[in-house]
Amino acid sequence: MTLREVFEPLRSRDELAFVPYQTAGFPTLADSLANLRTLADCGADMLEVGVPFSDPMADGPTIQASSQVALEQGVRLADVLAGMRGLDVRCPRVMMSYLNPLMRYGREKLLADMQAAGVCGLIVPDLPLEEADAWLVAARARGISLVFLVAPTSTDERIARVAELTDGFIYAVSLTGTTGARRHLPPGLPAFLERIRAITDQPVVVGFGIGAPEHVRALRGKADGVVVASRIIDAIRGGEDWVELAKDLKAATRA
Amino acid sequence: MKNLAASPGTFGRFGGSFVPETLVYALRELAEAYDASRADADFQRELDALLRDYVGRPTPLYYARRLSAHLGGGRIYLKREDLAHTGAHKINNAVGQVLLAVRMGKRRIIAETGAGQHGVATATACALLGVECHVYMGAEDIRRQHMNALRMDLLGAEVVSVESGSRTLKDAINEAIRDWVTNVETTHYVIGSVVGPHPYPTMVRDFQAVIGRETRRQILEQAGRLPDMVIACVGGGSNAIGMFHEFVADPDVKLIGVEGGGCGLESGKHAATLVGGSPGVLHGTRSYLLQDEDGQILETHSVSAGLDYPGVGPEHAFLKDSGRAAYTLAEDSEALEALKLLCRLEGIIPALESAHAVAEAIKRAPQMPEDGVLVVNLSGRGDKDLEIVEGLV
């Protein structure tokens, strides 16, 4: 299933894609893979898997700490790819990491191994479109979508350029800030999403700070999907009933 | 598609701008404002006046007669950045960037600091120009450089203790970037070295290039010719590039950068990024890094907090690969010996960072003829290091 095929049926049903995130290796690699399978069973439309990096500058405390836990256990990119290969879920998987560990692994080898593992998208927060030419060409050759982020500070021109280069979805960063659960949606978010929608019809998935079913409900009709990351990791760490939370989040994507 | 080589702010295959999308607009705005300020005679006049009347420039170039005689061989000159206001070269860049921030209408300043010299310099410039200042400093560095934390507090800045990662400069930069991503619309981030995304490596270099310009004029006056060699310590590399830039086009002037060798390259406990590292991307720029085989950033070690950084400015990476500059290291013990020697022979207490450059001069001068001329950039004074030195000497 390609990323595109996720959004078309959901759009026709006025439903958001639910995209939960897990840091690979938190609390252990085996646990994170099992949790991804559980999240797929809870109705995830796509899974986002974070490959830990020692210096995650776009991430807030929750994902920093979960990455640290993974790195302390020696979880490596090769282990994550092997785990993804064995992950028997039907929904598409995308991977997120920072540029340095990806470059170190090697661009061609990474994309080949992602393809073999059935990972169809790649999110790299420190790879802006000006620096992404070689990655775009190589990813396309493997049928892998390079996912660009747009932020409230992005100009209309840049959003249009991202839309042109997008063959999966656009990741809309909900606010100026790092990742991490927040109580309320940013007040400027609806206007930001309208601004994107006026520029492009590409699927738009919103992330950063989204964690409650009412957040998700408020975004219906304004976007194509939501990423929920830190909130689920906080729930796992805090011993909350995160499976119930995931089910509630998915339920909130539907009418 | 755009050719990567044509991207602004690249130095050969190094440099660039690898940042979260949220910061792209702010960096473009900064690059434009910086370019405009260079062409603005009023701005340059204001900056020059502050450098002269407030910072105390030009700083002297001093012929270290007793040190030279003790070592035998070439004549050693010290560029006395330690005599600049706040005690290090960092003030040159801090005054320039805070002035630029005010011109851009940004009233909130953030900075990272390692040894605390850049933090103090930024806090000073903010006090002078009446803007709010927050300085991110690793908890470990606050412990090592307590006096500088105290100075920042006195100057009205908020010192934010960073508890993540190795709790040193690298982590302070991560936290400063996270603050900037969050408050980008009101805030200017004063990076203290020639690292980070474009335009920082170029802008910080230009603000520090005054060191080399003065040195050229002064050495021509005093020695009647250009130096055979200039030596500077390299953490991120701002004092070194500030010295080197003026001499890059003079092929007979050797450029030597000295990194923090810690307990030695083989020990793995060092901060010698150019000597012992490999190319990668950290903090928005492509340069040499100390990283493991998976591309995770390694913890570094140096007795000098200002050199304790696993990255280095991209222009240094370019100068290394092109062969125009040579990079070496001085171990902790060598830097401490150099510090002691300079104290006893010249009555100058250098910063531990600068003592690394002095250590290299101690090795080089005896190999030079008597009419040889060597300039050491004495980037800062050592008052801040007395507690560390007390424990080790």
The answer to whether the beta carbons of residues B34 and B9 sit under 8 Å apart is no
Alpha carbons within 13 angstroms on the beta-carbon side of residue B92 total 29
Q: What is the pLDDT of residues B327-371, one digit of tens each?
A: 999 999 999 999 999 999 999 999 999 999 999 999 999 999 999
In B114-242, DSSP assigns E strands to 132-138, 158-162, 187-190, 229-234
Q: What is the pLDDT of residues B237-282, one digit of tens each?
A: 999 999 999 999 999 999 999 999 999 999 999 999 999 999 999 9
Q: Where are the domains of chain A?
A: 3-251
> B287: nearest CA in chain A?
A100
The answer to whether the beta carbons of residues B195 and B115 sit under 8 Å apart is no
Average pLDDT of chain B, as a whole number: 95
Contact A101 B294 (CB under 8 A): yes
Q: Which of A51, A53, A54, A171 to mutate to test the interface with B (most CBs of B within 10 A)?
A: A54
pLDDT value, residue B393: 65
- Predicted confidence (pLDDT) at residue B3 exceeds the cutoff of 70: no
Q: Most distant CA pair in chain A: distance in Å?
A: 46
Contact B283 A158 (CB under 8 A): no
- Predicted confidence (pLDDT) at residue B5 exceeds the cutoff of 50: no
Q: What is the pLDDT of residues B290-313, one digit of tens each?
A: 999 999 999 999 999 899 999 999
Average pLDDT of chain A, as a whole number: 97
**pLDDT class of B392 with cuts at 50, 70, 90:** confident
The pTM score is 0.96
| Chain A residues within an 8 Å CB radius of B25 | 153-155, 158
* B158/A contact by beta carbon, under 8 A: no
- Give the gyration radius of chain A's Cα atoms: 17
pLDDT value, residue A178: 96
Buried b (16+ CB within 10 A) or exposed e, B59-98: bebbebeebbebbebbbbbbbbbbbbbbbbbbbbbbbbbb
Residues present in chain A in total: 255
Q: Which of B4, B18, B23 to mutate to test the interface with A (most CBs of A within 10 A)?
A: B18
**pLDDT class of B1 with cuts at 50, 70, 90:** very low
SS3 of residue B299 by DSSP = coil
* B162/A contact by beta carbon, under 8 A: no
ipTM for the whole complex: 0.96
Contact A55 B20 (CB under 8 A): no
Angstrom distances, CA of residue A79 to CA of A25, A36, A114, B150, B282: 9, 15, 12, 46, 23
B150's CB contacts (< 8 A; 6+ apart) are none
Measure CB to CB from residue A53 to each of B177, B181, B296 and give the nearest one: B296
Token code pair at residue B369: 């003829």
In A15-127, DSSP assigns E strands to 17-23, 47-50, 93-96, 119-123
Mean pLDDT (whole number) for B168-192: 95
Q: What is the pLDDT of residues A93-123, one digit of tens each?
A: 999 999 999 999 999 999 999 999 999 999 9
d(CA B290, CA B280): 9
Q: Percent of chain A scored above 90 by pLDDT?
A: 98
Mean pLDDT (whole number) for A177-184: 95
DSSP 8-state assignment for residue B54: I
Alpha carbons within 13 angstroms on the beta-carbon side of residue B213 total 8
Q: What is the pLDDT of residues A127-149, one digit of tens each?
A: 999 999 999 999 999 999 999 99
- Predicted confidence (pLDDT) at residue B6 exceeds the cutoff of 70: no
Task: Report the top-level CATH class of A3-251.
Answer: alpha beta
**pLDDT class of A2 with cuts at 50, 70, 90:** confident
Contact A150 B184 (CB under 8 A): no
DSSP 8-state assignment for residue B296: P
Given the residues B81, B112, B259, B346, the one annotated as active site: B112
Contact A173 B17 (CB under 8 A): no
B269's CB contacts (< 8 A; 6+ apart) are B262, B263, B301
Based on the residue annotation, tell me whether B166 is a catalytic residue of this protein.
no
Q: Which of A80, A126, A155 to mutate to test the interface with B (most CBs of B within 10 A)?
A: A126
